[in-house]
Structure 1
Amino acid sequence: MYSLILHGRRFSELQKWRNLRFAVNPLQNASYFSNSFSSASGSYVSPKDGQKGKNFTVSDLVDSLGLTTKLAESISRKVKFEGKGNPDSVLSLLRSHGFTDSQISSIITTYPGLLIVDAERSLGPKLQFLQSREGASSSDLTEILSKVPKILGMRWEKAISVYYDFVKEIIKADKSSNFQKLCHSLPEEGSKQENKMRNVLVLRELGVPQKRLLHLLISNYQPVCGKEKFEASLKKVVEMGFDPTTSKFVLALRAVYSLKNETVEERVDFYKRLGFTVGDVWKMFKKNPFFLNFSEKKITQTYETLKKCGLLEDEILSLLKKCPQRFGASEQKIDNAIETFLGLGFSRDEFAMMVKRYPECIGFSAETVKKKYEFLVRKMNWPLKDLVSSPSVFGYSLEKRSVPRCNLIKALMSKRLLGSKLPPLSHVLAITDEAFLNKYVKIHDDKELVAELMAIFTRGHVS
């Protein structure tokens, strides 16, 4: 595989290899999986997750960078601002080096921890070092660091320099669609950097998008550090039929690379004891490659907790086949979901029905569920039974879907064009935009009315 890149053979050869598929079920043979992740050079300053920042910081992010409140709040939860430097200083420093607000927004969204870095002692010297290097340009600096800001989290100048140059070369090659020339600038043979660069080039040739490649390149916890093991793992993932342009491809590569053969065999046997077939396990892996990483304890806990929802064993199997990501739901999260829905007036049987129809119900926060319940039931006056019949409405965006459509429905009712009774909830929310407009707007012959309805629909705010 490496020779295809290093000796300049045509992409068509990789394409042929990419189109390989298994003739047998890959999970019937645990040898299709490999061991654990390799380590890589470069240390990172990693912020602790789940810690809340001050409200003024959220406001500052919204006011200074134009971030949405939701995004700013998400960032503030991922870093602890208090006593950890001055975020304003970081923002000012980035602007002084030519970063636009759009680029800074991208940087902070990708790497919130940068906001708590000491701007004067840590961040400033790194930016100056990169700018002082021969051939450095302001446009290169801002583009590269906007795409991979975690380079600034590395501690050593050598690591910063090496990975900055790697990213720069890949971006240049992407713009010219010429990856072959990169083969002549690989780091010294046998080094970890050489392995990473070569592996990333192979992934790029296979079609993995740039944005995923660049993060793979600088991360320690990714399967791009080795050689033979990387080659074997990549071959398996391609043969399994994962599309390299999707995020699942990278997830599958991580899973295959990290799992020991014995672990795969044990997990498959355990799933079989629960009632799944080997074919079921393979299909679930295709939907959520990471699900095989869950321990038997975690799987058992999720299985037993789902029984609290009122589901029977065969219903639990059906649910998990459809949404294997639910294996990752904590006991507390499932308990909270049950409590939230029961607290809103749904019976336990109704909740069980909703989970069977739309398993994602388990994953929504209490705030999300209550907010959508208040709008659909309290404000719009749909009965609870409509939500039980169409629980997917809890997954629709309130601002982008539910509110605009409901405003239009209310307008039609006020004009006595729908009668006095609300149409079924599923007829309003559970159809495509095109179907909705055909059903409630374009059906009218009055052009002024159609224009008025379209204005209501596109305005999309709560009236």
Structure 2
Amino acid sequence: MLCFSSTVALLSNPNPNPKPFSVSRRRFLFALHAVNPDAITPSPSPELEIHPLSRRQNQLLILHPDSQSNSNGGQETEEDLLKKKVVEEMSLATRRIPRFPGAVDRPEVERLGPAPDLRRILLGDDRTLKQALEVRRGVATETLKFAFRAGKLSIRYSDNLVSRLPDFIDRVVMGAAAMKETPELAHLSFNARAKQYIQDSGVVPLVKWLKHNSMTYPQIGKLLCMCSGDLGSVKELIEWLKSIYVKGKYLGAVVTKAGPIWEREPETLEEIVNFLEKNRVRREWIGFVVARCPQLLGMTMDELKTRVRFYLDMGINENDFGTMVFDYPRALGFYSLEEMNSKVNYLKEFGLTTEDVGRLLAFKPQLMGCTIEERWKPLVKYFYYLGIRRDGMRRILVTKPMIFCVNIETIIAPKVRFLQDIGIKEEAIGGILVKFPPFLTYSLYKKIRPVVIFLMTKAGVKQEDIGKVVALDPQLVGCSVTKKLDVSVKYFLSLGIHHRTLGAMIADFPMLLRYNLDILRPKYIYLRRTMVRPLRDLIEFPRYFSYSLEDRIIPRHKILVSNRINFKLRYMLASTDEVFNQRVQEAVERRRRFELGGKDDNLSHSDTPDAAPVTLNSCLDKN
């Protein structure tokens, strides 16, 4: 400050014969004022008078001494008044960095930024007006920040929020300019008028209330910029949204994505809600539905009725329609009718009727969120490459429609490569997917791989047989390792079956591990105690557990006992009733011939493994 005063005194020295400036003194002034040394006049005018102005105004006087030519000449022109007002407005914008009590650091010069080039402002009319507008925006910004801080909002929150309010700041500038036409406020400065406009708008208490209702500052900024009218209508709208059970964290998303719904009449919004309730969308669901599809509140009643009729005409009843809207609200209000019709027609190409598509959308409305070109067509081409035809695709679509909503590269392709890695041929992969479509929905690292590792380590399945096991029974992958597979393996090992033997049984009949113990125990007890069969018979024919005890095993065992004959489990159970009765008659005839002493040539024939030979003990028991 001392250097600056010395410089001013030096330039205003009334000595008529000043000494010419030295080079060092000119460099000193250049470093002090950041101006061209040649622009400093060696002999300043002795009539130059220093007024008690601010630092920036003093700089302007030093750099532009001709701007004060009218100070001694009488009346100032209109252009001079405009330039003076620009200078005054520039002096309003603070350039100091806020400091707090106890701070030990001081703001650096480079952090404050260079002083504005006032000469560029004063050169042309357009530049002057633009710069004046920017000055007023800066003043309005600082005034708004000060108002937020006065409302007990933090400095960082105020700065972040104001940075999101460019449109609202423009409204403050225009509102403050319009206040000048009011006689009561015409004498006030622009700062006072901007402060008065901010206070009259009620933006500070509204921001605090919105922040209390869990709205983020980007949402608040977007909302204030969108609302060009009375801000009080925003509060009324949010109170109404809370009455229909819209949660606090979704309030900001609804009011910013639904459009200017605060301009609509409350009766219109209530009519939309009542119409949804009439179509079985429960009142407690409305908040969830509106939060995920705010566009519903911006529709007209005719458009909403057309969309509801679109789904009801496909055979969806009202109960299913309500749950469909709850599961995926965007299916009702986000997509255009042309896009919805094109997706329905594409699904019909798989051989589905309109009613089938309706049931499919009621079960999985997320299908409406998938695009045809980016999601469905690449998936259909990939399935065709795997050997799946239209009937197989229809089965996949009807059984697990979620598959048509997932990504091919990240979800489906890695699982297909995994099937190839465990030894399944490419031509068999399509059949596996058609047989068990949920396979594609399981996690590769959390579900599929752990099951395969368990089968190879705990269940005794060989590595060369693991592909066969998965191909024969892909449903095995969907079983829980701890609650299902491990329990079944421990039960079979407790029966005395060896670890590797159990692996061979699983390779022969993979469904063995999917039966509940309540089904396995009665059949095993009947086999060992009533039928008096050895464990070896069970190892040779593990499919024994797949037959019904009451309908197949017990009736056929009684027939064998009554006729005093014996079959292996394979020939006893794995045949139809006609074939079984024929085998029983042939065995009885052979036994009768043996008892009569006749020689049965067919008894030792190698091509007739139908019945086991009748033992001598059975004949003695009959006698």
| Structure of higher RCO (CA pairs closer than 8 Å, 6+ residues apart) | 1
Q: TM-score, normalised by structure 2?
A: 0.38
